[in-house]
Structure 1
Amino acid sequence: MLTFEDYEYTRPDIEKLKIEFQNALDQFKQANSFEEQAKIIEHINMLTSDYSTAENIMYIRSSIDTNDTFYQDERDYFDEIGPQFQALQSNYYQAVITTPFRAQLEDRWGSQLFKLAENAVQSYSDEVLPLLQQENKLISEYAHLVASAQIEFQGEMLTLAQLGPFKESLERSVRKDAMNATADFFASHEDDFDRIFDRLVAVRHEIATTLGFKSFTELGYIRMDRIGYDAHMMENFRNQIRTHVVPLAEKIRGMQSRKIGISQMKFYDEPLHYAEGNPQPKGSPEWILENGQKMYQELSRETGRFFDYMKRKNLLDLVAKKGKEAGGYCTFIDNYDSPFIFSNFNGTSSDIDVLTHEAGHAFQVYSSRSIGIPEYIWPTTEAAEIHSMSMEFFTWFWMDRFFGSDAERYRYAHLLESVLFLPYGVAVDEFQQRIYDQPEMSPSERKAVWKELENIYLPNRDYDGHPYLEQGGFWQRQGHIYEVPFYYIDYALAQICALQFWQRSLNDFDDAWTDYLALCQLGGSKSFLELVATAHLSSPFEDGTVESIMDFISEWLVDHKIF
């Protein structure tokens, strides 16, 4: 039986791939029937899957160990060839959307493929290829800089992830020192973070204007495949968060302050929800994995088979260690039909959050892995985050396995954090729009914008005088801003959908789960708003949706004597 360690990595020969891809594309253009073109599409899909397989194996292995020089060199290689492969795809998509057999192809594959193709064509031209290569290198430089963090703390050298448990310490001085240690790392590299982002903004603006857009904001929406909604609808969503969530979030912070026995909450107090300490998993990472397997076996037949597959094939790398990149993700290795989960377990409740969140992604791609075309294995990102965030709530009923008698306290804290996240999530989005609409801003002006937005969305956050944070540097730790611009609000949109699934699961778990399972099986074959409707959820953009779910949460918290 093959495990991830046996998965073969072969560097794509980009020149050979160009020839093979172009030959297939020429045949596509010369084809005299829909049937001929459909067969050629299958061949092009195979080439795409081969490339994606190599790229994902490389990415996983390079992020597990940033000191592995072989895979770091391969990462540099993909930074160079990625835009060249994007050029091939753009040419293919141009042919797809202009073929005389488009109507028949749409009948077979659905209209979503053609909407994605149109976006891909708009977001690329050969003129911007060198700029895309520059962008990739800057993103890799940011990721490597964050992963390089070695912070001396209480006699040990720790990564940023390994500092996590200290940020939830019952001793306020330890929390403060741990949070400051993280901030101090970013402050000590502030010039590098400023330089990298300054170049990214300039390069992205040049890409956008070269492609005929007014600003990167417009291009960013196309890159993120925003289909069926626009920036005005997103602004309305942010307004709903400001009106209906910020007041509730501030009320939660006030309650939290009283619970942990402090008169004035500082930013280093925010991770602590209980005076007796936050709930923590009651065992080792191996124990968590074993209980996770039992949980998914009990949740449903489908999730049981899925998690057995993940564990059997070693498709999880979970524990924080030196040289490992920060954060967590799920990706998919096409030719092996394998999701892969990457995370940084550190002994806190976030380990369980990751186990359920990333497993939600993995279960979705596992469920849609046979959908037929690479473009539909994943949905667009705002839809993809529904699967992950909803899985966090569907697994609520099994939290006793991980937290024992602290399970109820975990559930409360998890719900509260789900609300508290929303203002921050939309602040990140508005920050990016402001930055890319005014690309000439200086680093200090960008920090001033962040500080202004914090005052709106996080009005009571108190950095206790830390100079780097007081001047607006907090956003630099948010990797999405550097690596995947305009992604972050997808979490907020999806959270509103996930909270609806949570509400429904409290009333009729089986009905909610049936819709969730069907949603996962659809993959990316429909747009975000179409998938939301299919799952019988209300659109986050619709007036009243955010207000309704916040009202329900407020009542639930009162009923359970949280307030």
Structure 2
Amino acid sequence: MELTAKQRTFLPEDFKVEDWESLKPYFEKLLNTEISSEEELRKWFHQMSELESVVSEDMAWRYIKMTCDTTDQTLSDAFEYFVREIQPHIAPFSDKLNKKALASPYIDALRKQEGFDIMIREMEKDVKIFREENIPLDTEIQSLSQKFGAISGTMSVEHEGQELTLQQAAVKLQSTDRKLREQIYHKIASRRLEDKDKLDELFNQLIKLRTEVAQNAGFKNFRDYMFTAMGRFDYDPTDCFEFHHSVKSEVVPLLNDIAKERKEKLQLEALRPWDKAVDISGLEALTPFEGAKDLTDKTIECFSKLDPFLGDCLKKMDEIGHLDLESRRGKSPGGYNYPLSETGVPFIFMNATSTLRDMVTLLHEGGHAVHSFLMNDLELNDFRNTPSEVAELASMSMELITMDHWNIFFENEADLKRAKKEHLEQIIETLPWVATIDKFQHWIYENPEHTVEERTENWNKIFDDFSDTITDWSGLELNKSKMWQKQLHLYEVPFYYIEYGMAQLGAIAVWRNFKQDPKSGLQSYMNALKLGYTHSIPEIYEAANIKFDFSIDNIRTLMQFVKGELEKI
């Protein structure tokens, strides 16, 4: 794959972001530019887009390097410097630039052109919520939220004389040795609980600051502020509540069926949390790959089978070192695909060990990466900043439409069937967890003055609403009460989670189309991704030939399809 590097026309080619003083003249130049025609306004937007791309990519690399090694203080300091010494100066200029553009007599002419209407709508929203007094608060919030990764990144357990990250230890929860599973479960849970008070206090601080930001901007609570800040023009909290209700009605019963079958097949008197990952036929855990190189090579082959372009995307990333896949101590938890606006080649970070879940994670992040490549030709940086409901559709659909080629990872037919079954069951398990985390967030920010005890009480109530009734938690109540603390999104990206559920429903619909007609289904999926954020979310879903719909009827139809596919395996 040949990528033509974006040529700078506004900033010097050798310019690097070092401090605010070196950046400031370019923001001032934009602010002082005379705009006397529609063509000049369009050119001005191109210049602003270039500046945004350079700045966002610089911040991206600081974040990537910090998460790849949380033990290197210089990397943390470089990211912290950007957050504290550069970003706060950019915010007021961004507000002034937005106001300048919106005040232009030529803005309405541009608004009629594809993509610009969506971008201008975002700018109007940003102007509405901007408050100068929130800049230092946002800086403090961003610094605090990064502490979650630092705390989690140092968590490890000892097993048989070996130090394991929690991700590495969790692999042993798939062992057929029940005593080992229980032992590992308690080690992981105990390690997490060591920091429970620290994580509670961190969360308390974040809630307080976030609530202050919302109130400064004239919102009743942080939830309402975030729905505006995240540009949720196409749905509101009542749609989230409908999603919760539909999942409880249509998905939780399937979750119960899975747990009941698990208990019976494993011949257990009580199904315990450490029994949830082991194969129900008593087989050892699936190992779809051995090491990062094997995972990379097999994923590239899998993508290429779908379409050569998709494989080329990952090949390019691999060639230039934009993949950091293996779990190691000192690495932040989780996984992400970070778009790099100027380079045009994103970066994938994850914590792979050897599991099916790790394989699916790379397929997922690979879907995000493909999305980045497909948007490269869009005119402005803003057109490539897709909302999560669209971004996660790209990734979650990729998990499913690649399933016809999973024989690349599993040569044995029985293993292949196991992998597909486990993944589809994982989808059924994911939707209730998404509803749990989302409903919990609504309660947290509707009741910001709550105590830790009230938070625990409501977490348990919400958790029980979306859990199976088969698993026995007796004696493990404290572990259960603090399970939410492992969810990175609550600390780092509040309210960014229900998108996974919405996109999961969309992905099932994409997969159903693909199963009916692979060529047409794949083309519709890629056509939707190429749109970036130049259309509304429902319109992008429509381009993929699916619906943006959280009703009981739609979720029932989709879950019956998943159930049918499970029965075919």
Q: In 2, Cα distance between the equivalents of 1:224 and 1:160?
A: 32
Partner of 1:236: 242
Q: 2:510, 2:240 → 1: CA distance?
A: 22
1:26 paired to 2:32? yes
Q: Tell me, in whole angstroms, the C-alpha distance in 2 between the residues paired with 1:297 and 1:369.
A: 20
CA 1:540–1:261: 2 relative to 1, 3 Å: farther
- Alpha carbons of structure 1 residues 443 and 78: separation in structure 2 relative to 1, 3 Å: farther
Counterpart residue number, 2:133: 127
Aligned to 2:48: 44
Which of 463, 475, 483 aligns to 1:465? It is 475
Query: What is the aligned partner in structure 2 of residue 209 from structure 1?
Result: 215
Partner in structure 2 of residue 327 of structure 1: 334
Instruction: Kindly provide the CA deviation profile for residues 104-159 of structure 1, in whole angstroms up to 9, marking residues without a partner as x.
Output: 22234431112221232233211111111110111011111111113222321121
**Residue 434 of structure 1: CA displacement?**
0.3
> What CA distance in whole angstroms lies between the structure 1 residues aligned with 2:215 and 2:263?
48
- Corresponding residue of 1:431: 440
Q: What residue identity is the alignment partner of 1:503?
A: R
Deviation of 1:557 (Å) = 3.0
1:481 aligns with 2:490: yes
Give the residue type in structure 1 aligned to 2:156.
Q
1:55 partnered with 2:59: yes
Partner of 1:531: 540
Q: Which runs of 5+ in 1 are unaligned?
A: none
Q: 8 Å contact 2:291–2:326 — kept in the other structure?
A: no
Q: Give the number of equivalent residue pairs.
A: 553
- Structure 2 residue aligned with 1:100: 105
Q: Indicate whether 1:245 and 2:251 are aligned.
A: yes
Shift in CA distance, 226/356, structure 1 to aligned 2, threshold 3 Å? same
> How far apart, CA to CA, are the structure 2 residues paired with 1:86 and 1:423?
37
TM-score when normalising by structure 2: 0.93
- CA–CA distance in structure 2, aligned partners of residues 415 and 459 of structure 1: 17
For the pair 1:35 / 2:45, whether they are aligned, the reply is no
Q: Which moved more, 1:551-560 or 1:299-308?
A: 551-560
Q: How does 1:135-534 map to 2 (within 5 A)?
A: 135-274=141-280, 275-405=282-412, 406-460=415-469, 461-470=471-480, 472-534=481-543
Task: Give yes or no for contact 1:282–1:404 (8 Å, CA) kept in 2.
Answer: no
Contact 2:305 2:405 (C-alpha < 8 Å) held by counterparts: no
Unaligned runs of 5+ in 2: 4-12
What is the RMSD of the two structures over their aligned residues, measured on CA atoms? Answer: 2.0
Amino acid at match of 2:382: E
What SS does structure 2 have at the residue aligned with 1:126?
coil
In structure 2, relative to structure 1, the CA distance for the partners of 1:125 and 1:171 (3 Å cut) is same
1:71 corresponds to which of 75, 78, 81? 75
**Separation in 1 of the partners of 2:14 and 2:428?**
42
User: Quick one: distance in 2 between partners of 1:292 and 1:125?
Assistant: 45
TM-superposed CA distance for 1:503, in Å, is 1.7
Task: Specify the SS of the correspondent of 2:347.
Answer: strand
Structure 1 distance, partners of 2:262, 2:511, is 22
Q: What SS does structure 2 have at the residue aligned with 1:121?
A: helix
Contact 2:510 2:544 in 1 (8 A): no
- Is the Cα–Cα contact under 8 Å of residues 45 and 374 in structure 1 kept in the other structure? yes
> Partners of 1:330 and 1:484 in 2: how far apart?
15
Give me the whole-angstrom Cα distance separating, in 2, the residues matched to 1:193 and 1:223.
25
What does the per-residue CA deviation read over 1:267-318, in whole Å, with 9 as the maximum and x for residues that have no partner? 2211224321332214332122112222222221221221221121121110
Letter in 1 for 2:263: S
Query: TM-score, normalization: structure 1?
Result: 0.94
Q: Distance in 1 between matches of 2:451 and 2:126?
A: 31
Tell me, in whole angstroms, the C-alpha distance in 2 between the residues paired with 1:295 and 1:142: 34
Q: 1:38 to 1:8 in 2, by over 3 A?
A: closer
